[in-house]
Chains A and B, each alone.
Chain A
Amino acid sequence: MTLLHPREAEGARGLEALDAFFLPQLDDTELAALEWTTRRVGDVPLRGPVVTPALVEVLCERLLRAQAEELADRPVMDVLEALGRAVARWSDPDLPQRRAAEQLLPQITGYASDMVRRGLKEHLRTFRRDRLLRFLAQDFDNPLVLDGFQPDRAGGRSRAYGPRLTTQFFAGNVPGLPAWNLVCAFLVKSATLGKSAGAEPLFPALFAQTIAEEDPGLGRCLAIVHWPGGAEDVEQVAFAHADAVMATAGLRATEDLARRVPVGVPFVPYGHKVSFAVIGHEALALTRYAETARRVARDVSQYDQQGCLSPHAVFVERGGAVDPRTFTAALAAEMDHYERARPRARLGLEESAAVAAVRSRYELRSYDDPGVQVVTSSRSTAWTVVLEEHPERFEPSPLNRVVRVHPVDGLQDVVPLLLPLRRYLQTAGVACAPDRLDTWASLLGRCGVDRVCAVGQMPRPAAGWHHDGRGSLAALVRWTDVEGAAEVDVERYDPEWTRPSRPADAGGRR
């Protein structure tokens, strides 16, 4: 999943190393005493401290203190307003952090700058003040449970406590993604010790800066550093202090973390998911098919298919005004258009080889099998569209803009292909008539899909989405219930009945 390819980036050459960390807990003397290291990511030199167990120990202690002072008793709506204001700052094109992100993230990741610019803008919209309310509403009937005990359906009262401190492992494959995790932790009043991703460590630090500028109290509750993944000594200290661990990572890293997170500490893993699109015959009308192809191409191409929201395959229903083969041609043309405007990142050898292998395998098959057709960018691996009539299975794409198109007679043909992957399915982009949406959603949900969205909107989940099938906030909190019977029973101990009469009372009777 890494995108560590050097790219033409004249701007960054000869630059001073940039700070890719956020540590407001340490003063200048303490910072100066740390050991520092500079890594080049893409073409950008990024500076950060060498993270040791001792440093993590200090950070955790201070984060816990900051959480107790700044967050624990702060009303949730107050936190939400502050986050909303911080996010609103990012809608200003001249915000220094946004400018830095727009200039440097393309150099760091290799992604086309136009794609990063528009992608960031669209992503951060998800966290506008009113959308943050949706995050709360999605998981809590009454968000005030985060501030105190509120009546519950069982006849008592309940309160939700977020972790005091969450250790977070951020993703680096999609710029801006860590905003989601940071926001979720704050909304449940958790401080965050964040480990930024090796492939893109800058965005979380920039976003944290804005939060701190808007609200220094919240800023104190954030520390963001990078350490090499799997550094067990460092992570052991972090886990010992954390009340929760949240990670967006690949399968192997997730499994490794799951083994090491102590029992009793909630572990919330995201990532390692597979998405796909299903195109109904209605979306292949003569007035619709070109636009449908455009939307699918955008979903596939955005962030070079690296995000788990990107479709690996497109199932296209037969019986539309154009057949799946024509749709494939239109999709290929749109993939080409997208590539011209927003070229894919340059690949490393291994990734190029993976694309080439898929191409040659299908090209070979296409000689004997009229149901197989390969359409590719010429003289490059920029994009690949494979039409395959009778797939043996739903095969995940090697990514980097490789997509398979499978003609089907209806969604019932798709189900058997989905079931073997049910643990890993995530987003299904759909395009069909309104009266079929419910049936489709039910079938897809049964197969393991946790998000059904419109084709063309796959990379942009709505605020509050049950990310990977669970409540983003609910997964972090623990509940304390005060039973209804207890409320009734404490009436027995009302001081009026239980306190000896005082002299003043006696005086009153006089």
Chain B
Amino acid sequence: MSPLPSPGDHGGLGRSDLLRDRVALVTGASRGIGAAIARALGAHGAAVAVNYLHDAVSAAAVVADVQAAGGRAHAVQADVTDPDAVQAAVEEVEDRFGPADVVVNNALRSYTFDPLARRTAWETSWQDHQRQLEGSLGGAVNVCRATLPGLQARGGGRIINVVTDLVERPSVPYHDYTTAKAALLGYSRTMATELGPLGITVNCVAPGLVHPTDSSRTATDEQRDALEQAAPLRRLATPDDVAGAVLYFASGWSRFVTGACLFVDGGLVMR
């Protein structure tokens, strides 16, 4: 019945040469969801630029995983909130693989999802919001602006932004984080409108609580049980579940879909 990934199965996402001629840039790809996305894109034939901020060792491991599976990958360091650094990184990718035509904005300012120690509404300052906006929205803006010339030159492409299902169902009110992701969702829709005529689709993937990742480690067992019980598919998302949705938006199978937001949370949010 249900497909179960076995080791070496690319997380149950299989492999192909579907994305053979694609060059993908995944931000925040050294760990967690970003790493799973990079591996999946690599397993389906894309040349993958693995962007990271600090963790060169983990990024190199992701590159090695893709290469070990016969794919092409390269690690690029850049702080996505720094436009110059992003420009340099995008040029580095172009030099190596050619212009990126699958752009996955996954990076964010580091954030701890701890339902017991979160900042309340009365403790969350404008500066807190700004920090998250800079990471999620600012990072995406910088990366999109730097990659747009390449996307246009290739006559089209895919921009995929990772948001969160909290924008629709804030089961825990992480104010600054969720607001910044909601802003990214808005940006994605205006971009979809602007870039549609240029053959570039812009879509969002909105995961529920993803386990296991470094960010979700502080989620309590209780919270995880409650989410599992509430979701029709009755478990938490895995990084590979998110990567599966990204594969769809990166592939030709989604060619007539833009401005969409796909919730990957086992049915917690249905829209």
Contacts and interface: CB of A to CB of B under 8 A. Distances in A.
Contacts of B235: 337, 340-341
Interface stretch (B3-11, B116-124, B125-133): B3-11
Nearest to B9: A379
Contact of A341 (B3, B4, B9, B211): B211
Contact of A336 (B4, B221, B238): B4
Tell me if A's interface is mostly helix, strand, loop or mixed: helix
Interface in B1-35: 1-4, 6, 9
B213 interface: no
A337 B238 CA distance: 11
B92 interface: no
A351 B1 CA distance: 22
Contacts of B3: 378-379
A205 interface: no
A340 B6 contact: no
Interface string B212-241: 000000000100000011000111101000
Contacts of A340: 4, 235, 238
Contacts of B234: 290, 294, 333-334, 337
A92 to B, nearest CB: 16
B51 to A, nearest CB: 25
B156 to A, nearest CB: 35
A380 B6 contact: yes
Indicate the size class of the contact surface on chain A.
20 to 34
A375 B1 contact: yes
A323 interface: no
Nearest to B231: A337
A291 B234 CA distance: 10
A376 B3 CA distance: 10
A283 to B, nearest CB: 16
Nearest to A380: B6
A57 B1 CA distance: 58
B242 to A, nearest CB: 14
A317 interface: no
A359 to B, nearest CB: 13
B4 to A, nearest CB: 4
A118 B224 CA distance: 12
A197 to B, nearest CB: 27
Nearest to A297: B234
B2 A333 contact: yes
A269 to B, nearest CB: 34
A378 B2 contact: yes
B4 A337 contact: no
Interface string A325-367: 0000100111011011100000000000000000000000000
A334 B3 CA distance: 13
A439 interface: no
Interface in B219-271: 221, 228-229, 233-236, 238
B228 A380 contact: no
A379 to B, nearest CB: 5
Contacts of B2: 332-333, 336, 377-378
A20 interface: no
Contacts of A376: 1
A460 to B, nearest CB: 14
Nearest to A346: B7
B1 A378 contact: yes
A333 B9 CA distance: 20
Given A118-B221, A333-B234, A340-B238, A379 B4 contact: yes
Contacts of B233: 337
26 contacts: A118-B221, A329-B1, A332-B2, A333-B1, A333-B2, A333-B234, A334-B234, A336-B1, A337-B228, A337-B234, A337-B235, A339-B4, A340-B235, A341-B211, A341-B236, A375-B1, A376-B1, A377-B4, A378-B2, A378-B3, A378-B4, A379-B4, A379-B6, A379-B9, A380-B4, A382-B4
Interface of B: 1-4, 6, 9, 211, 221, 228-229, 233-236, 238
Interface of A: 118, 290-291, 294, 329, 332-334, 336-337, 339-341, 375-380, 382
Given A333-B234, A341-B235, 9 more contacts: A334-B234, A336-B4, A337-B228, A337-B235, A340-B235, A341-B236, A375-B1, A376-B1, A380-B4
